[in-house]
Amino acid sequence: MSEFALPPARRLYVHVPFCTRKCAYCAFASEPVAGLSAGGLEDRLDQYLGGLVAELTARRVQLASGPLDSVFFGGGTPSLLGPARVQSVLDLLGAWGLLDAGTEISMEANPESLGRAADWKLAGVRRLSLGIQSLDDQVLRWLGRPHDAAQAQRALQDAVATGLRVNGDLIIALPNLPRDVPAEVQTLAALGLGHIAVYVLGVEPGTPLAARLHGLPKREGPLDPDAEAQALVEARDALVAQGFQQYEVSNYARTPAQRCRHNLGYWHHEAYLGVGPAAHSFLQTPAGPVRSWNHAGFQPWLESLAPPGAGPTQGSELLTAEDLVLERLMLGLRCAEGLSLEALASQLGVVLPFADSAALRGLLDGGLLTLDGPRLRPTPAGMLQADGLAQTLSDLVVAAVPGLG
């Protein structure tokens, strides 16, 4: 296998761990702030900003020396920071020469905490990703969302009117709940969105939703994989009918220019630095490519940054050759563009055994994969089975390539 080395990170993820209140399905590292007084919330946010600046300063060397491809404020609900704090972070990155006119600067927000979209544009945000999840009030109540459908539509209209690139998230495949996803997609398209992301509802252990569904009859509990796949197909057909192009399992854009470049970086297996509580990073080290993660709790993260703190990283994992191959396959097969066979060979030393593998030929003949010159692409049906396909291909590679496994 080739010695695979990541270039310096040109993508930065900023995790903002605060939200208005925890949604029923949420298993992300986030801290509800609804119980804080106005002054208490401001103090909390200022503490976070101080810690963020400290971490960015300490880890500046892990980023590329020139302008970044993307900066992504995720959460939680990053819009709770307010435009001034976000602008201060962007001003710092700009002073370090890490931003230019081409840097994609994205921020997640919820309709109830967005405020005026124009203020975010003035602060330097260039792309807004709004957690709509549904345009049906019954569905929103079931999910425990803090906004209603009318509020979501107003926020989207305001965001689109600024000229910012705007994404709307939808959650589908809810158990035993009537839902007209095509009608919601049509409404979102009519509002002028250039990007829509569609996610299957995940029922994570320990969430209020998991407790609510536990022990219910199958018809009322979480959907099975076939039903989830059918929900994804229904959403895909509705989005394609509205002029959107699927470029990843859950992501659709009107044009290639409106795709989320930050997320494409993940799917292209590129290096990134994550800062903030619970943030993950994928970086080159002297030992090799490493995934690491920060302290998840706000206070432990903050205390780790105070001298003589040991730093925000709680744990890390040195990736093996087999890990890297499986990741590359899993990420590539989630995307319509598929895998570059040349990159697999030159970066990872992997040549897929097309001539010798009946299993691989079966995936091609069975309509799950297509071989398009130098690229191996998943079909729409194959994208619904991306993880399974990747494991199958990884097993083939491990069996065929000496030194793996």
Judged against a pLDDT cut of 90, whether residue 207 lies above it is answered with no
Region 209-218: what's the mean pLDDT? 57
> What is the bridge-based pairing of β-strands 104-109 and 313-318?
unpaired
Write down the residue that tokens 């609900």 correspond to: 77
Lowest mean pLDDT among 180-184, 306-310, 377-381: 306-310
Residues 266-317 have pLDDT tens digits of 999 999 999 999 999 999 999 999 999 999 999 999 999 987 777 899 999 9
Q: How would residue 1 be classed by pLDDT, with cut points 50, 70 and 90?
A: very low
Task: Compute how many other C-beta atoms are within 10 angstroms of the C-beta atom of residue 98.
Answer: 21
What 3-state class would DSSP assign to 299? helix
16 forms beta bridges with 75
Report the candidate in 128, 155, 159, 152 with the shortest Cα–Cα distance to residue 258. 128
Average pLDDT of the chain to the nearest whole number: 89
Judged against a pLDDT cut of 80, whether residue 398 lies above it is answered with no
CA distances from 314 to 45, 49, 60 (A): 22, 20, 18
Q: pLDDT value at position 218?
A: 46
Residues 79-111 have pLDDT tens digits of 999 999 999 999 999 999 999 999 999 999 999
* CA distance linking residue 77 with residue 276, whole number of Å: 13
Is it true that 11-266 and 321-400 share their CATH fold?
no
CATH superfamily, with its number, for domain 11-266: Aldolase class I (3.20.20.70)
Q: Which helix (H) or strand (E) holds 314?
A: strand 313-318
What 3-state class would DSSP assign to 62? helix
Write down the residue that tokens 């990872």 correspond to: 348
For 7, which DSSP code?
Answer: P
Q: How would residue 36 be classed by pLDDT, with cut points 50, 70 and 90?
A: confident
Q: pLDDT value at position 221?
A: 45
Q: pLDDT value at position 206?
A: 62
> What residue type is 350 in one-letter code?
V
List the domain boundaries for the chain: 11-266, 321-400
Token pair listed for 181: 């996803």
Percent of the chain at pLDDT exceeding 90: 68
Lowest mean pLDDT among 103-107, 238-242, 319-323: 319-323
Residues 50-60 have pLDDT tens digits of 999 999 999 99
* CA distance linking residue 222 with residue 214, whole number of Å: 9
* CA distance linking residue 379 with residue 153, whole number of Å: 33
Judged against a pLDDT cut of 70, whether residue 405 lies above it is answered with no
Q: What is the CA radius of gyration of the chain?
A: 22
> What is the bridge-based pairing of β-strands 165-172 and 195-200?
parallel
Higher pLDDT, 218 or 364: 364
The CATH number of the domain covering residues in 321-400: 1.10.10
Lowest mean pLDDT among 135-149, 185-199, 245-259, 351-365: 351-365
* CA distance linking residue 17 with residue 143, whole number of Å: 20
Residues 339-374 have pLDDT tens digits of 999 999 899 888 887 767 888 889 999 999 999 889
What is the DSSP annotation of 325-355? HHHHHHHHTTBTT-EEHHHHHHHH-----TT
Higher pLDDT, 201 or 292: 292
Q: pLDDT value at position 395?
A: 84
Q: How far is CA 183 from the centre of its chain?
A: 25
What 3-state class would DSSP assign to 78? helix
Token pair listed for 28: 């992300």
Q: pLDDT value at position 193?
A: 97
Report the candidate in 287, 354, 289, 352 with the shortest Cα–Cα distance to residue 324. 289
Question: Using CA of residue 63, residue 66, residue 70, residue 72, what is the dihedral sign?
Answer: positive
